[in-house]
Amino acid sequence: MNDQIDRIDKPVAREPAVAHAVRELVIGNRILAHHGVLDAFGHVSVRHPANPERYLMPCSRGPALVVAGDIIEYALDGTPIDQRGRPQYSERAIHGAIYQARPDVQAVAHNHSPAVIPFGVTRTPLRPIFHMASVMGPEVPIWDIADEFGDDTDLLVIRADVGASLARALGNRRVVLMRGHGSTVTGRSIREAVYIAVFMQLNAQLQLQAQQLGGTPKFLSPNEVARASAILLEPLGPERAWQTWAHAAGFTDV
């Protein structure tokens, strides 16, 4: 898969840390596409490893097709540093606003996972029902764009003030649902954000199945969530998952 990772229209020399971040970004996109968290839409970014006031994100391309040559460097206000004619995702404000509000966040993944969307439009909260999903946190807030901006919108986060509103709803959590749109997942690394996004989707599927059996599922308690996630978010957990999922997505040299 290295040729698919490294293909680029005009080769650009990158510092080792940046080259590593670009590679991780490519693999993260492919993993999330492989799991169906991302389809033709959605996007993943990583904070620039040498400049926290910038971030890296692919040009506007289906996540399953992302290669190193697609990665654009951005200022936090969404201004491209090295666009070179490549098309841009319109919802860059999601990423910039969260990086501005949360210095601890190093990666952001916005997705339209079908399994998650129903929990953003109903009164049924998305909560962890099995230990692996503890990584998404004890509660997942819902951000409704109409609360601040009315119903005369396209539900997209394409302005700085809308991105700031989303970031406020996220607060200090790892995940926020977006009513009628999808969700946004954060992490201390690309690997962690991918890990959380995959298990959040699986939890949504399992929660729906449990509720179809009748009654209210027994969710993990806040204490169980704290204890389980503390273990699962240690480096070994995301690393083990990353290696397995990357191999399944075709990256046998990870």
DSSP 8-state assignment for residue 80: B
One DSSP character per residue, 227-251 reads: HHHHHHTSTHHHHHHHHHHHHHTT-
Task: Kindly state the tokens that stand for 43.
Answer: 């996007």
Beta strands in the chain (DSSP E): 43-47, 54-58, 71-75, 107-111, 142-143, 175-178, 182-187
**CA atoms within 13 A of residue 42's CA, in its CB half-sphere:** 30
**Gap between the Cα atoms of 148 and 128, Å rounded:** 28
In the residue annotation, 91 being an active-site residue is answered as: yes
Strand partners, 107: 46, 187
What angle do helix axes 190-212 and 16-34 make, rounded to 10 degrees? 20
Which of these is catalytic: 15, 24, 53, 91? 91
> How far lies 239's CA from each of 128, 190, 202, 243, in Å?
21, 11, 19, 6
Note whether 217 and 133 are within 8 A (CB): no
Q: How far apart (Å, rounded) are the C-alpha atoms in residues 99 and 96? A: 5
Cβ(163)–Cβ(93) under 8 Å?
yes
Q: By the 8 A CB rule, do 1 and 253 touch? A: yes
User: Which residue numbers are catalytic?
Assistant: 91
